[in-house]
Structure 1
Amino acid sequence: MMILLVTVMTYLFYRLTKQLNKKVAFPLFHPLLATPLLIIIVITVLNIPATEYLDGAAFLTHMLGPATIAFAIPIYKHLPLLKKHLGLIMVSITAGSLIAIFTSYGLSLLLHIDRSYLVSVLPRSITTPIAMEISKEIGGLPTLTTVFVIITGIVGGIMGPAVIKRFAITSPMAQGLALGMSAHGVGTNKAMEYGEQATTFSTLAMILAATITIVLGKLLIPTLVAFI
């Protein structure tokens, strides 16, 4: 019963905030921010333990995996185009992944963030299911990593289009790579507004960033954490 209640409630809140965000383009109304806030209010008022909600929402959490894998469809569709620019794409995403890790690490040290929080923030620039697994492997807190991933996605989804407009970036490849790298799933959703090619490059950027960060999670991140 709880699984059904939680699934329906979460879905309805998401649809409500998504429609609201379309009518009122205000950052606080973004579905990934407004939906959790509404859920927090409801479970607090109804005195539902957070662990009970998480258990009930396990079905939705498990759907993140298949949803991520489904992004392979547009990549397959535009495979010749991706092969043509593979070298440039790899260099761009590798640089973006390294910058994301080092800026997170540097800012965390600067702000004297607790070690467990620092480790949790390092994989923030990739899609949620993979970020959670990397966080778990390097000794972070997966739930906290999810929060950082969502914040990164929302900020990137808001600032990305503004940067693209400010610098008059018209290349679908540049638009897609920038949005996918900086805002992963949220950025890919935003890339749909720029066309199918931009969406494809954004999807590829999100997947490659996750793959590269998995490698860095094994090699680079433990070394950085050792210096804390």
Structure 2
Amino acid sequence: MNFELFLHYRPWLMAAEVTLIWSFVTIGLYLLSKRFHRRYKKWWTTPIIITPILLIVITLLSHTNYNVYIRGTHWLMALLGPATVAFAIPIYRRRNIIVLYWKTLSIGVVFGSILSIASAWFLASAVGIDDAIRLSLLPRSISTPFAMVISGEIGGVPELTALFVILTGIFGASFGQLALYWLPLKSKLSMGASFGLAAHVAGSSKAYELDNEVGTIAALVMVLTGLFNVLIAPLLEAVLS
């Protein structure tokens, strides 16, 4: 009888083991890479770069495919939404920024979003990228929870969009400070807006390293950009269909 019960619950137990193992590996690698980055502060030592590379190596060595890994860590993906909403706390504390610069922020979010979508579409079309991949590229410059929702609505592949979002964030956070050095953008408002608009969460984290107010503006622009893109997703779907 006990053996029959074991066979009955075996699939559930195996799923629980997979979840525990890959969740432990993912979180553990992130914490280790975060500690490493504190000691060696280079753009290439950031956890968002080191952790995925180490995970890829481990999954390849263990012959684990993507489906198995994502089944074990899907709950971490579900936490992206609450993590994004958590940015509302520093935004609320600096709500005076919205009052002071609401016109500038609104114009930046609208035109920045349009430029990001248009550039992705035309560049992807110019090199002949497949329609599904091209649609998955469009929301690459907003945070993952917003981007995956939009990708699904316009006919893209949400999982592929998540990858593009991560790559965009890595690139923006890594080279954003260098780009700002050469660009005539010296105010905290312009620097924060650039990081938040171009590199979402990764850019906002990098902006907080530079200055608390710059990071707050970046987080604010990131959230506003995500909300704006979600609102225009039906219009975008109608235009592209």
TM-score of the aligned structures, taking structure 1 as reference length: 0.91
Hey, what's the Cα distance between the residues in 2 that align with 1:121 and 1:175?
Answer: 24
Describe the superposition over 1:69-108 as per-residue Cα deviations: whole angstroms up to 9, x where unpaired.
0000011111122111101100011111000000000110
Question: What corresponds to 1:150 in structure 2?
Answer: 166
Select which of 8, 33, 40 maps to 1:17. 33
Amino acid corresponding to residue 42 of structure 2 in structure 1 = A
Cα distance, 1:38 vs. partner? 1.8
- Of structures 1 and 2, the larger Rg is shown by 2
| Structure 2 residue corresponding to 1:63, chosen from 69, 74, 79 | 79
Amino acid at match of 1:8: F
Q: Following the alignment from structure 2 to structure 1, what is the Cα–Cα distance between the partners of residues 91 and 75?
A: 27
Secondary structure, counterpart of 2:181 in structure 1: helix
8 Å CA contact 1:172–1:194 kept in 2: the answer is no
Displacement of 1:58 after TM fit?
Answer: 1.4
Deviations, residues 56-78 of structure 1 (Å, cap 9, x unaligned): 10121111111110000011111
| Aligned partner of 1:193 among 209, 212, 218 | 209
**42, 46, 49: which one pairs with 2:62?**
46
Is 1:119 aligned to residue 102 of structure 2?
no
SS of the aligned residue for 1:56 comes to: helix
Deviates more, 1:175-184 or 1:163-172: 163-172
Aligned to 1:85, the other structure's residue is in SS state helix
- What displacement does 1:134 show? 0.9
1:195-210 mapped onto 2 (5 Å cutoff):
195-210=211-226
Gaps of 5+ in 2: 1-16
1:87 alignment partner in structure 2: 103
Q: 1:162-210: per-residue Cα shift (whole Å, max 9, x none)?
A: 1222236332111111100010000100111232211111111101111
Q: Displacement, 1:18?
A: 3.2
Counterpart CA distance in 2 for 1:200 and 1:134 is 25
Give me the CA root mean square deviation. Answer: 1.7
Aligned residue type for 1:54: I
Question: What stretches of structure 1 of length at least 5 have no aligned partner?
Answer: none
The one of 160, 167, 180 aligned to 1:164 = 180
CA distance in 1, matches of 2:184, 2:30: 32
Corresponding position: 1:108 with 2:110: no
Q: Please report how far the alpha carbon of residue 17 of structure 1 lies from its aligned counterpart in structure 2 after TM superposition.
A: 2.9
Q: How many equivalent pairs are there?
A: 224
Question: Per-residue deviation at 1:30?
Answer: 3.8
